[in-house]
Amino acid sequence: MKNFYFITLLQIAIVLSLHAQSNSKDSIYMHVDTAADFPGGQPAWMLYLMKNLVYPAKAMNTRITGNVLLQFVVDEKGRVKKVNALSGPVILQKEGIRLLQSSPRWVPAIKNGEKVSSYRNQHVSFRLES
């Protein structure tokens, strides 16, 4: 009888272990081997900003400038998801979020040789010429 309980418990442990492993695809990693990146790297990101950033009229009229820090997820297919502004002038945050949400697919992060979903932080600088 004791062997029966032991075998049953062992089977339950194996099922739970397999279930935990199957959910690893749903994980969003903070620490990866290679971070997610905009396709073409920083030079391409800057070009994307120059072509697509629309300075909010109210911020321009009141000469509001600053850096918006955005946190988001790049999934294993390079899609940008869960974009949040962490800091920066509120009036500029919406445009920063829009820029990321409308950006092309990113190069996903790599962990243990596989593409994974990961968190990423990105600054968007808003500057006006004097």
| Structure confidence by residue, pLDDT tens digits, 9-62 | 444 544 444 444 334 567 899 999 999 999 999 999 999 999 999 999 999 999
Cβ count within 10 A of residue 130? 4
Rounded to the nearest 5°, which phi and psi values hold at 53?
A: -70, 130
- Predicted TM-score (pTM) of this structure: 0.77
Over the chain, what is the mean pLDDT?
85
pLDDT for res 25: 63
- Asked if residue 74 lies in contact with residue 80, where contact means CB atoms within 8 angstroms, the answer is yes
- Asked if residue 23 lies in contact with residue 97, where contact means CB atoms within 8 angstroms, the answer is no
Encoding tokens for residue 49? 């900003």
State which amino acid sits at residue 96. Answer: G
In the DSSP assignment, the letter for residue 57 is H
Say which residue the tokens 């120059």 belong to: 50
Encoding tokens for residue 61? 């009229």
